[in-house]
Amino acid sequence: MSVTTVEGVRAGVDPHQLHVTEHEGPASKRIVTGFGFWIFLLSDIVMFSCFFASYSVLVGQTADGPGAAELFDQRNVAIETILLLLSSFTCGMASIAADMRNAWWFQIAMAVTAVLGAGFLVLEVREFIDLVGRGDGPSRSAFLSAFFTLVGCHGMHVSAGILWLLTMMAQVVAKGFRADIQRRILCFALFWHALDIIWVAVFSVVYLMGTAA
Amino acid sequence: MSEHAYHEAHGHHGDLAPGEEESVNLGSRVLGYVIGLGLALLLTATSFFIANTDLVWQPSIPVALIVLAIAQMGVHLVFFLHITTGPDNTNNVLALAFGLLIVFLVVGGSFWIMSHLNHNMMPMDQLMQMQR
């Protein structure tokens, strides 16, 4: 699809001195959409970096309340991590199935992704309810405010991701693998994998560095 | 799907959308995700092991955890998001590099400034007395 133009074609010009320019033409809509969504994800990561910065600044400000080591259960976090990691894998399987236009495998992989994501959310909500029930809610100390903001914001993203995932399953049923649906699936996969990347930072910085021996 | 048909369907111009793979072969695509999952599980297990072990010098643990986390993010970027160093990925990598610059400035800058402030701040009881 590339168009080659030659500048300065005049009689008597040395052909070795001609400037040849390659025009690739505009990128396809799939590339433009994917790139735009990538920019959004990076800005989302920048927003999370602000929450990480405030958490790491406030981690010692416990106002004589409990610190990270007393509050967090590593076993719970390990299960959450594995659930999210497996869901990232099945999400990858779903995007392969979408490229192959295999609706059956796509629905199975997306359903497994949704179940794993929901399992992650259940564990996280249970942890939050447990903390609040013990009186260690977000108003207890600056450390806990920062913790609930950071981890809660990630949890909100996962909830929104699950809603988006269910929407994509319904849209594939209703409209099939149209080009616009394929672009949405591409963006959803990017979103879901980016959430897992942010979770890597969360479990390392918040849970493991907080409870390290 | 043949390679030609794939490129036709995706409007391939020598650029890749983020998340899009160069490989079109089903087996090698699945294998890429399997390798990514294996590496990520290995790094996660190492992180949890390091955080709980007495075998290593204790002050080195936070640094090790950060290095392992960055390695795992790299694994996710390459094997799940397919952000590579290939020439068809330049735009995606440049956007990522700018994002990382901002993340580094925000996190590193906040931490640096606030730890200096904490260090130079008068202890709270003395501050209270001066305000009386």
The residue segments making up the domain with residue B76 are 23-81
Cβ–Cβ gap A196/B76 under 8 Å: yes
Instruction: Give the Å distances, CA to CA, from B67 to A115, B109, B129.
Output: 31, 19, 44
Residues of B in contact with A200 (CB under 8 A): 44, 69, 72-73, 76
Residue B111 maps to a domain? no
Residue B66 maps to a domain? yes
Query: Which amino acid is located at A185 in the chain?
Result: I
> In sequence order, which ranges of chain A are alpha helices (DSSP H)?
29-58, 68-71, 74-99, 103-133, 142-175, 179-202, 209-211
Cβ–Cβ gap B76/A200 under 8 Å: yes
So what's the pLDDT on residue B35? 95
Residue B106 maps to a domain? no
Which ipTM value was assigned to this complex?
A: 0.83
Beta-strand ranges (E) seen in B1-132 are none
So what's the pLDDT on residue A5? 55
Backbone angles phi, psi at A22, to 5 degrees: -95, 125
Backbone angles phi, psi at A109, to 5 degrees: -65, -40
Task: Determine the Cα–Cα distance for residues B58 and B17; give it in Å rounded to an integer.
Answer: 43
- Return the minimum-mean-pLDDT range out of B2-11, B56-65, B79-88: B2-11
Cβ-count burial B16-51 (b if 16+ within 10 Å, e if not): bbbbbbeebeeeebeebbeebbebbbebbeebbebb
Render pLDDT for A138-173 as a digit per residue (tens, 0 to 9). Answer: 999 999 999 999 999 999 999 999 999 999 999 999
Q: Which residue has the higher pLDDT, A112 or A16?
A: A112
* CATH code 3.30.420.60 for A28-211: no
Residue B132 maps to a domain? no
Residue B116 maps to a domain? no
Q: Is B24 helix (H, G, I), strand (E, B) or coil?
A: coil
pLDDT over 90 for what percent of chain B?
Answer: 48
Residues whose CB is less than 8 angstroms from the CB of residue A8 and which lie 6 or more positions away in sequence, other chains included: A18, A19
Task: Determine the Cα–Cα distance for residues B43 and B76; give it in Å rounded to an integer.
Answer: 11
Residue B59 maps to a domain? yes
Query: Given CB atoms, is B97 within the 8 Å cutoff of chain A?
Result: no
Task: Determine the Cα–Cα distance for residues A117 and A184; give it in Å rounded to an integer.
Answer: 19
Render pLDDT for B3-39 as a digit per residue (tens, 0 to 9). Answer: 444 444 444 446 788 888 877 788 889 999 999 999 9
Q: How many distinct structural domains can be found in chain B? A: 1
pLDDT over 70 for what percent of chain B?
Answer: 87
Query: Given CB atoms, is A70 within the 8 Å cutoff of chain B?
Result: no
Q: Which residue of B has its CA nearest to A44?
A: B99
Average of pLDDT values for A72-91? 94
Cβ–Cβ gap B106/A46 under 8 Å: yes
So what's the pLDDT on residue B11? 45
Domain ranges of chain A: 28-211
